[in-house]
Amino acid sequence: MAQPDWHPDTKAVHGHTAVSLAGIDPVNPPIYYSSTFRANSAAQFAEMASEERHPGFYTRYGNPTHEQVASVLASLEGTETAMVTASGMGAISTAVLSLVKAGDHVIAQTRHYMATAKLFDEMLPRFGVETSIVEQADLDAIEAAIKPNTRLIFVETPANPTLVLTDLAAVVEIARKHSKSEGDDKILTLADNTFAGPFNCRPADLGIDVVLHSATKSMGGHSDITAGAICTSRSLASVMWETSLTLGSVLSPMDAWLLLRGLRTLPLRMERINSNALELASWLEQQPEVTKVHYPMLQSHAQHDIARKQMKGGGPVVAVEVKGGYEQTSRFVAALRLDSQAVSLGGVETLAVHTAAMWTGSMNEEQMAAAGISPNFVRLSVGLENIDDLKRDFAQALAVTV
């Protein structure tokens, strides 16, 4: 069922296409756990092999379970189509590598998910693609970075881990203003929408060309799969599909099915996550043991006006700075009872990461300071627990450690 006029909350439940087999019509679609599919004639075989994104030829080319979840993803993000990949990095690398060639220039941000930063800082330059890394809150810097050979602008908002925002409509405007051509040859804008998610922010509605997700996070929502999503136009998806055949970031049909299952409750989960996260962030801001709370929906967020303009809710990630140094912060995170000390975000359970501890092996103090990570910085992903229990848990952990 592809009903164009339903609300996204309804599409999350009904957006997949019904599949009917020999008179059996399951309400919940089956998993097509097959790597390959039969043809019953030479003509059909030729058609299967040549048709773009045929869902029943070979699973790296397409799979009916991929197609079902992709149609829900496109509905949620408001794009013509969507593709799934084996991870968020699979989506990001496939999308970016599809669009650039040696001699092109790309603009990215100072704050990115670590593996994304490596793509821009290290990998693309090795292949002769020039990159400019600019401060994402500074629109003038983004505009000033544009060159005659600029191919794309990549943004991530809110950005990991400091929750700095990028004004999406303004970036689209900059790209439009400086594009010398139209269509897919213009300066393309790509947004990693993992932190906000389509319930809170729809970048394509603001003119962003490609919306990317780590569906491992809120979209899957249960900390049980890794998956990625590319939501875009049919013409760009066509180019990305070609590239995906070579890069091979293929989502397992089982994980595609679990993603479909997760998406049905995405709107409901996000409502609760938004309210829990905002309430916990506001409460933490009032605690004497806390020096700073970063959350887009707090009045105190430096870019709260942008949050109000482009986001419906703040999403799961709240960053907290506590009084004291590295040791106290480590003890505080360890004293939390409901919060597992684990990476990732957007699951049903609350998670806490002592960011400086996570990066001690791979960054020196200077690099951490540049990334906005102080020794007392804690990144939370707020889950679905009862809010009073969460506050009680944080209160006891703050009381004993800070």
Q: What is the DSSP string of 27-47?
A: SSPPP---SB---SSHHHHHH
Residue closer to ligand PLP by CB (options 217, 397) is 217
Smallest distance, Å, CB 116 to ligand PLP? 6
217 is catalytic: yes
Closest distance of CB 332 from ligand PLP, Å: 23
Closest to 107 in 3D by CA, of 138, 137, 147, 161: 147
Choice between 95 and 402, CB closer to ligand PLP: 95
**Least distance (Å) from ligand PLP to the CB of residue 391?**
26
In the bound state with ligand PLP, the residue whose beta carbon lies nearer, of 69 and 402, is 69
Name every residue whose Cβ is closer than 8 Å to that of residue 393 and which is 6 or more positions away in sequence.
336, 337, 338, 339
Tell the smallest beta-carbon distance from residue 392 to ligand PLP (Å): 28
Instruction: Spot the catalytic one: 202, 217, 264, 312.
Output: 217
DSSP 8-state code for residue 121:
I
- Catalytic position from the list 11, 111, 167, 192: 192
How far apart (Å, rounded) are the C-alpha atoms in residues 241 and 385? 39
**Residues at the site binding ligand PLP, with contacts judged by CB under 6 A:** 87-89, 113, 116, 156, 160, 192, 194-195, 214, 216-217, 226, 228
DSSP β-ladder status, 105-109 and 130-134: parallel
Nearer to ligand PLP, 48 or 306 (CB): 306
Angle at 358 between CA 357 and CA 362, to 5 degrees: 105
Catalytic residue from among 60, 309, 323, 391: 60
Choosing from 32, 113, 209, 295, which is the catalytic residue? 113
Nearer to ligand PLP, 84 or 187 (CB): 84
CB of 317 to ligand PLP, least distance (A): 9
**Exposure string over 297-321, b if 16+ CB within 10 A, otherwise e:** bbeebebeebbeebbbbbbbbbbbb
Q: Can the peptide bond before residue 161 be classed as cis, meaning omega within 30 degrees of 0?
A: yes
Residue 137 to residue 298: CA distance in whole angstroms = 17
Identify which of 76, 41, 30, 36 has the alpha carbon closest to the alpha carbon of residue 55: 36
Active site residue ranges: 60, 113, 192, 217
